[in-house]
A and B are shown apart, each in its own frame.
Chain A
Amino acid sequence: MVCAGTGCVANNSWGIKKGLEEELRKKGLENEVQVVATGCNGFCAEGPLMVVQPGNIFYRRLTEKEIPHLVEEHFLKGRPVQKFMYTPPTEKAPIPTMDHIPFFRDQMLIALRNRGLIDPTRIDEAIGRGAYSALAKALTTLKPEEVIRIIKASGLRGRGGGGFPTGVKWETCRDAHGDPKYIVCNADEGDPGAFMDRSIIESDPHSVIEGMLIGAFAIGSQSGYIYIRQEYPLARERLIIALGQAREYGLLGNNIFDTGFNFDIKITRGAGAFVCGESTALMASIEGRVGEPRAKYIHTVEHGLWNLPTCLNNVETWATVPVIILRGVEWFTSIGTGDVTDNPWGGSKGTKVFSLTGKVNNTGLVEVPMGITLRKIIFDIGGGIPGGKKFKSVQTGGPSGGFLPTDLLDLQVDFEQLTEAGSMMGSGGMVVMNEDDCMVDMAKYFLAFTQDESCGKCTPCREGTYQMLQILKRITEGLGTEEDIETLEQLSQFVMDTSLCALGGSAPNPVLTSLRYFRQEYEAHIRQKKCPAHACRQLNLYMINPDMCATKGHGCGVCMRQCPEKAITGEKGKAHVVDQVACKKCGVCYDVCKFDAVQVS
């Protein structure tokens, strides 16, 4: 019942009535829902008004553009729309809806389509959300070559970091000589701070299994491996359950869906080596050999596992495949940047999942269309920097990526643009840093990681990263020299050019980007022996503000008791003092003072 009193008419209730009738006709509900114009409802201040019976649902402040949503939700799906309903002023304001919350509204879920909705240990729930229907479509209506054509045309590129066009990879593998052929899923996810793949496997393992089935059909493989890192026990447990349930239903094994297609999957566990996320090292590990990469001028799609054609893709890539088969090329290419009609590298299509972490309010998993800006991800979806602190830098691509400064916040996230800026997409780790983070210290952190994880095969990587790390350590301790920056740049170039695999090839990226965008921080450490962010404690000066200590803290003495060097003296009730000669800059006094009396400069 749409109110057609003067007040509401003046606010377009006729337009709303018309829109309502049209929308109901569109949805085929014109015989089920009767639209009636009534006289003035009385509550003019909240118009335009509408009452729905049965249920006595009272909608207010309606607008024409909300009508399609209202019809869809209330009349088609039977879910009255809370946000259009009236809330008496004594009650609290209505709770916002999901699409009012930027964290959820600005995301677009493809790989994470089932997140939070299904129990991953019950295959029926995944099937209820469409799992295995893409497989059915592929097996019964498409030839393997057609599946490859679709994936090629979609512009899907590897989501593990390489960004290699998936369709091209599948085609090369199909055409390669050798039998049997293998499908591999890279679930090693070693980048610190990245947890996209873990979440996909924990929450929706069937999306990955189905993707691998479709890939195996396209390439002509009957045997697949999922290489999952040792540090993901929950993901592995749910994967084992999912594989078992898929087998019970005959979705893995022989003669799937009575089409003569056979395929099954084995799980291989990692053993704590980051380098085994590199495809050739991963395959060596599956074979039982030491996880060391080899030169890739011979591609693994031609000679991979046991020297046979092997197609390796990342978890997120596999999870995206079924959706492309179901919804088609035109839909997928409408999302993202660039043009892939003639050149598979011509654009970045679809969405990417990022694990947003660090100094940001909404830490979590974010799936967004390619082409979205860093600013939107960090400040809208991420909710900005907590504590009112200032943004300083965002790191993308894990230890292989780089740091991007404030000036580049409007950069569109896609494969090419990130690489041009000196960073890379990587697997999707996105670490946000604020004014309290030291860029030299962060570069040191990532280099320490890659140095530790280097397999040691190549001298430049093994020795080069070690030497670079030593230089960075000296700089953060105030022992850097002018030549150090040039040495770092030379070593970086050298390690990048001469390492066999991408670990060494990209390990210097954090150093190079921090030098490119934050050179002044290096210079401050070297020339003034200062750390602008106060993160490198060796360079800090810890002093007690006597007024604060005496009036606020009343000389409580906590810092004195905690100081490992016994460098603080003072009487109870009076201001305490730090002996700068004895002080070893550990910063414990700063950490424990409850009155902000210890000041760092």
Chain B
Amino acid sequence: MPKLKIEDLQKISDQVKRTTLLREGASRARVNVHMGTCGISAGARKIVDAVLKIIEERDVKDVLLTTSGCAGLCSREPMATIELAGEAPVKYVDLTEEKIRKIFTDHVLGGKIVAEYALALGSEREHM
């Protein structure tokens, strides 16, 4: 990989936004499972596996599965943030394999938020 020049920072930033931004023609939805030590010890890996399984079963092609670090509310792990194109992200907490299957079917594929498993809508306020 070539050494970066300063201009490359902006190029990479734009490219990342292009591939991870949800819109028509690209990915329609993103499932982001939080995997800090808190999440992993609460079982986040099983949640990721459950999502991978359902993606394979239903042959889903336009949904991104990503992982990130701890989201801060360690006591409610495993947590996942579901984002549909054009809508605010939704944080789901206290997940199990059954819950994430229902969330995937109802929310990601069906477009309807599963209110009883959701904690909140939106992102943390940006201070950057």
Contact residues of A between 75 and 92, Cβ < 8 Å to B = 78-83, 92
Q: When the two chains form the complex, which single residue of A98, A110, A249 contacts B4, counting CB atoms closer than 8 Å?
A: A249
A96 to B119, CA, bound (A): 7
- B13:A97 contact, CB within 8 angstroms: no
- B120:A95 contact, CB within 8 angstroms: yes
- B73:A103 contact, CB within 8 angstroms: yes
A-B contact count (CB 8 A): 159
Q: Which residues of A contact B3 (CB under 8 A)?
A: 249-250, 255, 258
Q: Which residues of A contact B67 (CB under 8 A)?
A: 119
At the interface, yes or no: B88 with Cβ under 8 Å from chain A?
Answer: yes
- A109:B124 contact, CB within 8 angstroms: yes
Q: A285 → chain B, closest Cβ, in Å?
A: 23
Residue-by-residue, is B87-114 near A (CB-CB < 8 Å gives 1, otherwise 0)?
1101100000000000000000000010
- A95:B90 contact, CB within 8 angstroms: yes
Q: Which of B9, B38, B67 neighbours the largest number of chain A CB atoms within 10 Å of its CB?
A: B9
Q: When the two chains form the complex, which single residue of B2, B70, B75 contacts A116, counting CB atoms closer than 8 Å?
A: B70
- A323:B75 contact, CB within 8 angstroms: no
| Secondary structure class of chain B's binding surface, majority of residues | mixed
Binds A, one of B14-22, B46-54, B55-63: B14-22
Q: B24 → chain A, closest Cβ, in Å?
A: 11
A476 to B49, CA, bound (A): 48
For A382, the closest partner residue in chain B by CB is: B75
- B5:A257 contact, CB within 8 angstroms: yes
For A232, the closest partner residue in chain B by CB is: B37
A43 to B91, CA, bound (A): 31
- A127:B87 contact, CB within 8 angstroms: no
- B75:A101 contact, CB within 8 angstroms: no
At the interface, yes or no: A412 with Cβ under 8 Å from chain B?
Answer: no
Q: A80 → chain B, closest Cβ, in Å?
A: 7
At the interface, yes or no: A113 with Cβ under 8 Å from chain B?
Answer: yes
At the interface, yes or no: A40 with Cβ under 8 Å from chain B?
Answer: no
- A128:B12 contact, CB within 8 angstroms: yes
At the interface, yes or no: A425 with Cβ under 8 Å from chain B?
Answer: no
For A79, the closest partner residue in chain B by CB is: B88
Q: Which residues of B contact A255 (CB under 8 A)?
A: 3
Contact residues of A between 227 and 272, Cβ < 8 Å to B = 234-235, 248-251, 255, 257-258
A108 to B87, CA, bound (A): 23
- A120:B68 contact, CB within 8 angstroms: yes
Binds B, one of A196-204, A389-397, A430-438, A498-506: A196-204
A136 to B13, CA, bound (A): 14
Q: B35 → chain A, closest Cβ, in Å?
A: 9
At the interface, yes or no: A104 with Cβ under 8 Å from chain B?
Answer: yes
The answer to whether residues A99 and B70 also contact, given A79-B88, A128-B16, A202-B36 and a CB cut-off of 8 A, is no
Q: B28 → chain A, closest Cβ, in Å?
A: 14
- A363:B75 contact, CB within 8 angstroms: yes
A249 to B5, CA, bound (A): 9
Q: When the two chains form the complex, which single residue of A109, A323, A364 contacts B73, counting CB atoms closer than 8 Å?
A: A364
The answer to whether residues A250 and B4 also contact, given A115-B69, A119-B68, A203-B36 and a CB cut-off of 8 A, is yes
Q: Which residues of A contact B87 (CB under 8 A)?
A: 79-80, 82
A590 to B74, CA, bound (A): 30
For B2, the closest partner residue in chain A by CB is: A250
Q: Which residues of A contact B32 (CB under 8 A)?
A: 116
> What would 13 more interface pairs be, CB under 8 Å, given A115-B69, A363-B75?
A82-B87, A95-B120, A99-B125, A104-B124, A113-B126, A116-B34, A120-B69, A124-B15, A127-B13, A132-B9, A257-B5, A364-B75, A366-B72
Q: Which 4 A-B pairs have the closest CB atoms?
A: A203-B69, A250-B3, A128-B16, A116-B71
